[in-house]
Amino acid sequence: MPALLYTVRATCQDIQQRGRFLSWLTPSHVTEVMQGGATSVRIVLPDRVGDTAPAVVETQYVFPSRKAFATYERDHAPALRADGLKHFPPESGITFARQVAEIATEL
């Protein structure tokens, strides 16, 4: 059964807001996701093009199976997403996008 890569992309308005988001994200939030079934996490900061470009944080979690991810989504994700929205509501300007993908090969 293939592992899953669950990516959450947070687009922040600027570097300062990204710093506040990163302070919230680590270590407690990512630790809670790992307690919910993720086996590893990687936080990626894509390069910005220009001073006015948004500051993005991509958090990539690996789950050992689709079943483990489904358990995470059912039992853990609702509370964790609610906590994120409590700290960064829509009016904060941060937007979130999520993607789930099977890991075909890892070397």
Helices (H) and strands (E) in the chain, counts: 4, 4
- pTM, two decimals, is 0.93
Q: CA 40 to CA 4: how far, in whole Å?
A: 11
What is the pLDDT at residue 80? Answer: 96
Beta bridge partners of 98: 8
- What percent of the chain is helix, strand and coil (3-state, nearest 5)? 40, 30, 30
What average pLDDT does range 27-43 have in this prediction?
97
Q: What are 8's two structure tokens? A: 């959450």
4-102 CATH choice from 3.40.190.10, 3.30.70.100, 3.90.1150.10, 3.30.420.40: 3.30.70.100
What average pLDDT does range 23-30 have in this prediction?
96
Ramachandran class of 66: left when φ > 0, alpha when ψ lies in -120 to 50, beta otherwise: alpha
- Structure-token match 């307690």, residue found: 35
Q: What proportion of the chain, given as a percentage, has pLDDT over 90?
A: 89
pLDDT at 50 over 90: no
Domain limits, the chain: 4-102
What average pLDDT does range 60-89 have in this prediction?
97
What is the pLDDT at residue 53? Answer: 82
What is the pLDDT at residue 13? Answer: 92
Q: How confident is the model at residue 65 (pLDDT cuts 50, 70, 90)?
A: very high
